[in-house]
Amino acid sequence: MAARLVSRMLRRVLRSSVRSCSSGARVTQPRRGEPSQSAAEELSGRRRFLREHATPFSAFLTDGFGRQHSYLRISLTEKCNLRCQYCMPEEGVPLTPKADLLTSEEILTLARLFVKEGVDKIRLTGGEPLIRPDVVDIVAQLNRLEGLRNISVTTNGINLARLLPQLQRAGLNAINISLDTLVPAKFEFIVRRKGFHKVMEGIHKAIELGYSPVKVNCVVMRGLNEEELLDFVALTEGLPLDVRFIEYMPFDGNKWNFKKMVSYKEMLDTIQQRWPELEKLPQEESSTAKTFKIPGFRGQVSFITSMSEHFCGTCNRLRITADGNLKVCLFGNSEVSLRDHLRAGDSEEQLLRVIGAAVGRKKPQHAGMFNISRMKNRPMILIEFSLLLQDSPPALPAVSSWDSLSIQGLRHRVGVSSQEAALWKGCWVPQPPPLTRRWLGCGSPQRHYSSHSDSDTSPKCLSPVPQAPATHSGWLPTSDELTHVDSEGRAVMVDVGSKPDTARVAVASAVVLLGPVAFKLVQENRLKKGDALVVAQLAGVQAAKLTSQLIPLCHQVALSHVQVRLELDSTRHAVAIQASCQARGPTGVEMEALTSAAVAALTLYDMCKAVSRDIVLGEIKLISKTGGQRGDFHRT
């Protein structure tokens, strides 16, 4: 007991001298600055003495495999101010009643207990922790705990620029900011909210205040953002960032699919092809990240390899959820309520026994990515914010879909570094350029949007004559019988198991008659809701992929490509829509194309209905289809 008291006194002396930032850069209290040489030598001596005379680590926080848990993550809230497509539905998720969440005093009581037992690092998570009104006070209270050396936060960055000066004064040492794309339009599509500029401002503020490196968390998912790997890495050339690429992980409700996961080795190979001089940095034993640096770059890149190369053997992390449950493994489904024991009046010793029993039951490693995907566990939003993965990530079209926006020139890798560095250094955020315009005979400027990047550089409007790729033309043979009903007239799904896989292409169209007022606002991109053509295009792409969920008897089709084009027709004050879908399989994609065109039209209606209710949706029709046993079809 006396030895433990001496150890705590030494920690207190050590902590009063210096607090370490996430990079190891020192921040003195109350002001930041480098210690003198003598102070550094004294600090080194104290650390050496502490190591030599340290007491055995707490038995309550040591599991049966000798892992010592000195890192605690505390979720401050289940709420979030974003509505990410791959995290939760737009209306949110069912939240725990406020009375069942931990109060500030309960959070501090538990933190105090864990720190007394040897925890020296606490990370605050959510939901979004920075929407909790008392977050600055919580950081300040944690900062007073003897033995706690590091206080960090994981945030989506929306409120960061506003709160960071206060948080730094309160004692915040390190920041992780979640950002999955560098394309503003894609950001808004993913999170269903505006805010890209605020996140950028938050990262700029963190750099300005001396946090180094500022950690940027990027969950990499195939079909969503894997084509941006090199763009993220390029940011580290002139900025003190640690870009952390995180393998997509399975959680309850996120419909995890191995095919959506981009492995660490695949990401590393992609980066090394561009920067072969990439070198690995040494790492601490308990580190979750494999860190690399390009010589001459200010920042670095890391990989969190939870799925392909787990780091369970050196895990030192515990988690407390916002409702007070202790999780000893992120991927484990067993939890114990510390809140209930607190409110039952348990003593400190009783709480420690509960904690020790839970830690002692921790398994040597998680169940593996394929088994985890079948296990029942909380959605990530209800564990912590750092990886928002509750819902299936939208399998967006390939990189060409976003290239067509020409936003920030991300396709041209050579120019990314300087442009993005200017963006981050000056906190300047470029707006998407005006959509491609073409002057028609009437002299009216026409806005055109396409989800497909044309092979040449000249802008192309939607052709009034559909040009579906087909080698065999002819009318589709009709049938005397309906295929979706059985002999007794009941609805039934067609069995396509015996049909051969063939290449399938379908093109459908729709027209939205907006009227002169709404048409002009769309044409000039002055709608208060945003760019109607961009939003409608994205809605059409997403609708094609969800057709089997919307139309009961449709088969699920693995689409290989979706293309949505929109063109303004000033003669009718209308928007012409064309949707094309491609797949290889035993069934056609006509319904996908029709659904895409129809939902794009409905989205335009929704974007414009505040301006005019006199909007007409019409001419939804199949233009062409190719592939399949029944022949091709082209509307004349």
Q: What is the DSSP string of 108-146?
A: HHHHHHHHHTT--EEEEESS-GGGSTTHHHHHHHHHTST
CA–CA dist 580, 576 (Å, integer): 14
pLDDT at position 167: 98
Note whether residue 52 is domain-resident. no
What are 491's strand-pairing partners?
485
Pick the closest to residue 578 from 590, 563, 588 (CA basis).
563
Residue where a domain terminates, one of 384, 415, 449: 384
* 524 lies in the same domain as 378: no
What are 585's strand-pairing partners?
502
Note whether residue 537 is domain-resident. yes
Note whether residue 466 is domain-resident. no
**Given strand 300-304, what is the order of strands in its sheet?**
279-280, 289-293, 300-304, 241-247, 214-220, 174-178, 150-155, 121-125, 71-75, 317-320, 325-327, 336-337
Active-site residues: which are they?
606
Say if residue 12's pLDDT is above 60: no
* 266 lies in the same domain as 121: yes
- CA contacts within 13 A on the Cβ side of 197: 6
Q: How many domains would you assign to the chain?
A: 2
* 227 lies in the same domain as 360: yes
> What CATH number has the domain bearing residue 178?
3.20.20.70
Q: What is the mean pLDDT of the chain?
A: 76
Q: Enter the tokens of residue 332.
A: 């484990």
Note whether residue 396 is domain-resident. no
What are 478's strand-pairing partners?
none
CA–CA dist 538, 396 (Å, integer): 9
Identify residue 430 by its one-letter amino acid code. Answer: P
Identify residue 294 by its one-letter amino acid code. Answer: I
DSSP for residue 523? H
Least confident residue range of 84-98, 186-200, 263-277, 538-552: 84-98
Residue where a domain terminates, one of 328, 355, 384: 384
Pick the closest to residue 349 from 532, 161, 117 (CA basis).
117
pLDDT at position 499: 74
The residue that leads in pLDDT, 471 or 300, is 300
Looking up tokens 């564990």, which residue turns up?
383
Pick the closest to residue 173 from 70, 21, 15 (CA basis).
21
The residue that leads in pLDDT, 164 or 363, is 164
* 290 lies in the same domain as 164: yes
Q: Look up the domain containing 578 and give its range.
A: 502-634
* 152 lies in the same domain as 280: yes
Say if residue 178's pLDDT is above 60: yes
Q: Helix H segments across 209-362?
A: 229-235, 264-274, 338-343, 348-360
* 377 lies in the same domain as 507: no
* 185 lies in the same domain as 317: yes
Per residue in 541-554, is it b (16+ CB within 10 Å) or e — as a string?
bbbbbebeeeeeeb
pLDDT at position 44: 60
Residue where a domain terminates, one of 363, 384, 405: 384
Q: Average pLDDT in the 441-461 region?
A: 39
Identify residue 171 by its one-letter amino acid code. Answer: G
Note whether residue 404 is domain-resident. no
Least confident residue range of 47-51, 206-210, 322-326, 483-487: 47-51
What are 360's strand-pairing partners?
none
Say if residue 631's pLDDT is above 90: no
Note whether residue 394 is domain-resident. no
Note whether residue 400 is domain-resident. no
Q: Average pLDDT in the 333-349 region?
A: 92
CA–CA dist 157, 427 (Å, integer): 14
Answer whether 0.75 is exceeded by the pTM: no
Looking up tokens 């990439």, which residue turns up?
278
pLDDT tens-place string over residues 288-328: 789 999 999 999 999 988 767 655 778 899 999 999 999 99
Q: Enter the tokens of residue 386.
A: 């750092």
CA–CA dist 27, 7 (Å, integer): 23
pLDDT at position 334: 74
| Helix and strand counts by DSSP (H, E) for the chain | 18, 21
Q: pLDDT tier at 33 (50, 70, 90 boundaries)?
A: very low
> What CATH number has the domain bearing residue 573?
3.30.70.640
Q: Enter the tokens of residue 174.
A: 């390190």
Note whether residue 304 is domain-resident. yes
